[in-house]
Amino acid sequence: MKEVEKHPGIIRADGEVIMAPWIEKEQVGELCQKCNGKGTLSNRCRCKGRGVVADEEKTALQGVPVDKICPRCSGRGYSRMPSSVAYTAIKAYLPELNERTWRRNWKPFYEKLVSKCYAEESRAEAAFNKMTK
């Protein structure tokens, strides 16, 4: 809900208000600056989802393009979502959750859960690669 000015009002040059501004609260659609209205954010990093980037130093030394594992995403193709983003999202549902409680109790659980998800993802990828070879 946002206050929307329906009519700016009428004010004479001498400052006398003939008609006051008319403002109502209503739900308006706004274009998100971060996602440009798409509704999702791309987590891809500078490797553009490939997991490898050009190594400028070795390329300059050898004269041919040399790739290396992306240092930002460790070859995953996307950067991990920081725990602060998860805290902000959870705080919307649990406003009484303070940051200290999050850091001491829930953040370690969140990080272990994320690590478990990545481990299972790599196991599934290995099984898929084994079956498709």
Whole-number Å distance between alpha carbons of 123 and 118: 9
Q: Is residue 84 located within the same domain as residue 119?
A: yes
Residue 37 placed within a domain: no
In-domain check, residue 70: yes
- State which residues form the domain around 57: 43-78
Domains of the chain: total = 3
pLDDT digits (tens, 9 = 90+) for 18-67: 888 888 888 777 777 666 667 665 655 777 777 788 888 888 998 888 88
Confirm whether 100 is domain-assigned. yes
Q: Is residue 97 part of a domain?
A: yes
Closest CA to 112 of 91, 76, 83: 83
> Are 128 and 100 within one domain?
yes
The residues with which 39 forms a beta bridge, in sequence order, are none
72 shares a domain with 118: no
Shared-domain flag, residues 71 and 99: no
Q: What per-residue confidence (pLDDT) applies to 109?
A: 92
Question: pTM value?
Answer: 0.47
Could you tell me what percent of the chain has a pLDDT over 70? 88
Same domain, 107 and 61: no
Phi, psi of 95 (to 5 degrees): -65, -20
User: Which of 87, 93, 92 is closest to 110 using CA atoms?
Assistant: 87
Which comes out higher in pLDDT, residue 122 or 1? 122
Residues 129 and 85 occupy one common structural domain? yes
61 and 88 part of one domain: no
Same domain, 90 and 118: yes
